[in-house]
Structure 1
């Protein structure tokens, strides 16, 4: 059996794949003529055949569920019922599910497989997208998470509302994803762009998950996004080793640039026994040099955004800002690890909106109501590093520096020759102990 046939499962099969228990919601009653609101000839017959084929009387099933013991409201689409399309009754069911999630303070999980809005109900079907968007906004306002699982296919308005509008977007391997369905795409469209793998590379989804792993991954996300109590600041991670303080500025820079120094991955692995990643800026970009996600430390959920020592690109700043705003909305404290020579400054970065992306990251940190904790673990290169730095809860390791500008660049701007770079580094007062004395950092770890 092919991967595609394996993934195209019914609504009830999808529910059984991820849940321990499921109790269907009572749905609102709606007067509905045989051929629907447009009196579309044959529509009633099509619905009857769809019911006979699938056992469902609408394209969505919704109810209260448990995923490995984690309660949620769950929505599952039945693609076999008129292509999983959204009509008036579908909108009723979706609205009821969102309302139940708000009333019971539960996360909402959507298992999506849809071709879009139902043509036989015309504009009345299309306006169901506005209903869904409104309900999604109300759930965000209530501080409750939304997780989408994209099945085959996820296209049209279902992708553009329940799918792309979710906080975390997962997809089964190889499934079709895109606003344009397969029958309305341009003839020369690149097929890979409409598959899960292409959407992951473009930063539109967070992960591709095999069907057999889906329950555990969903349970992990429900745990991480559920919060665990008051939003106390994340403790600063423990440093690696005890290297002592650098004697001068250039030694600080050299140690921070050393190839063997521990990087973000090592800190995250030591800090979080369990973590899951958010990927992409939702604008078409992914920066591998920015690691974002949520993890459990000492049983408490924290969000993290960590630079890995590379020049941070616009997609990295936008992804970090997305993460921080989500954590803030859910009441989850944030940990940032700063390590970059600075923001990427090539022409491509400028075309991708580097200035606006950095500004967005600054704004996300500045406006966060949850505490943000920062540890500078390597290079702190100018505003590209400061954009992820807490203004009042920052620590530095003994193998780090933070500077208004790289000492080589400072020397060049001041028209000093290369022999003056070391002296310039010390004048910038960028050492860990200098940062504490200047009040930029609270303390040095690992000294």
Structure 2
């Protein structure tokens, strides 16, 4: 192989000390497994032109202060297509990641399965999907970067299966490439920005920012950083005065105050650095549900934070995704509760708000890692309770938690809305009431 190829140049731009893995031995046949006329000559010409002997380069290198396994595609080599040899390299790289306990970083630019190898190329998708699954089961994180273009099987079997999905600005991303879909099918849905809006991509990251973003993710998610079993995330310090509300209605008004500290302020105070992910992987995004991983005193903590609004189905599905990913990797979780209640309009109902909240309840119930909750504002009914950790919940002095908002309580009881303050008292929703009732373990100070 030549000393410098497009893939190697990309590797050198994001890492240092790269060592290529020895490619797995593969049986050879004239013109490939199908005997495709001229296939060997085509490969030879491509190697002479690009300096690469295959469409993927696999090895290990340093990103910041941590090592990772790198799987890098070279689109100049037959459109980054994957046949038997390339598939074997990818699978072997994931095997190395499991043996070495290193995260996987895949940088994908591919048109899919290699046509000249037919079904022998297509079945590589099954082997790659299984390699991704085994790596996930071993609690090894996989971060992918969608480069231009990422289409076909490498999007569906490899990149879309990653734990964190980044994308290059303007990159074409679609299951069907531009040459095989209808000419009328164009637009944002087939590009990275559309995938971001549809919840299939976590962040768009430019080439200049990519080395730093990958180094931060590798540091936060590196398996060697975690202890087993993980200790709970410490309760964040309250950003308020600590004076308790006198009445239930006072508690409600304080929680609704525009001057009250919100989730961003708590996250800024708690974490030295953090990386946010977003999107439910099912077509939706709710940026008012903030999810990600952060560095707290040298430890990685996952977080889900509500921002004082009514969250939508994609928000709850994203929260469930984050909790499950943290549980898979063995990372403790911090949830910040602050919502008047889940969205209940027609769009939310059509989007499956009930099943989405159910996903969060299940993710919390199933989690093997500890979850710590701080209620920092409104705790409105099931939309707040879904993110609340049983037996590890604290509350600030300017927050409340209730089975339903006082105004809605009045409506259900067919009472005048003016009676909401009285009902707030009957609901016993103040922080000190919740402590007496055993719902919270303490009031944060």
Q: TM-score, normalised to structure 2's length?
A: 0.97
Q: What does 1:32-47 align with in structure 2 at a 5 Å threshold? A: 32-47=28-43
Once the two structures are superposed, the pairs formed by residues 258-297 of structure 1 within 5 Å of their partners are 258-297=257-296
Q: Name the residue aligned to 1:311.
A: 310
Describe the superposition over 1:268-312 as per-residue Cα deviations: whole angstroms up to 9, x where unpaired. 011112001111001111112100000001111000000000001
Alpha-carbon shift at residue 406 of structure 1 (Å): 0.7
Partners in 2 of 1:279 and 1:39 — Cα distance?
45
| Corresponding residue for residue 227 of structure 2 | 229
Aligned length: 438
CA contact (8 A) 2:242 2:396 kept: no
Gaps of 5+ in 2: none
State yes or no: 1:145 paired with 2:141: yes
- What does 1:40-59 align with in structure 2 at a 5 Å threshold? 40-59=36-55
- CA distance in structure 1 between the aligned counterparts of 2:43 and 2:306, rounded to whole angstroms: 52
Deviations 1:395-445 (A, max 9, x none): 000000000011111111111112321111111111111111111000112
Residue 85 of structure 2: aligned partner: 89
The aligned counterpart of 2:297 is 298
Instruction: Determine whether 1:126 maps to 2:122.
Output: yes
User: Which is worse superposed, 203-212 or 380-389?
Assistant: 203-212
Q: In the alignment, is the contact (CA less than 8 A) between 1:291 and 1:306 conserved in 2?
A: yes
Q: Which residue of 2 aligns with 1:332?
A: 331
Note the alpha carbon deviations across 1:123-171, whole angstroms, 9 max, x for none.
1111100000000000000001000011111111101122111001111
Please report the RMSD computed on the Cα atoms of aligned residues, expressed in angstroms. 1.0
C-alpha displacement of 1:203: 1.0
The alpha-carbon deviation at position 186 of structure 1 amounts to: 2.1
Q: What does residue 345 of structure 1 align with? A: 344
1:343-389 Cα shifts (integer Å, max 9, x gaps): 00010011111111000000001110000000000000000000000
Alpha-carbon offset, residue 243 of structure 1: 4.2
Structure 2 Cα separation of the partners of residues 348 and 42 of structure 1: 55
The question of 1:213 aligning with 2:206 is answered: no
Following TM superposition, the consecutive aligned residue runs of length 4 or more in structure 1 with deviations greater than 2 angstroms are: 227-230
CA offsets 1:205-241 (integer angstroms, 9 cap, x no match): 1111111211111010011112343411111111113
> Is the 8 Å Cα contact of residues 20 and 69 (structure 1) preserved in structure 2?
no
Once the two structures are overlaid, the 10-residue window that deviates more, 411-420 or 198-207, is: 411-420
**What is the SS of the residue equivalent to 1:316?**
helix
Q: Give the equivalent residue in structure 1 for 2:368.
A: 369
Query: What residue in structure 2 maps to residue 203 of structure 1?
Result: 199
Alignment partners' CA distance in 2, 1:305 and 1:65: 31
Alpha-carbon distance in structure 1 between the residues aligned to 2:418 and 2:205: 54
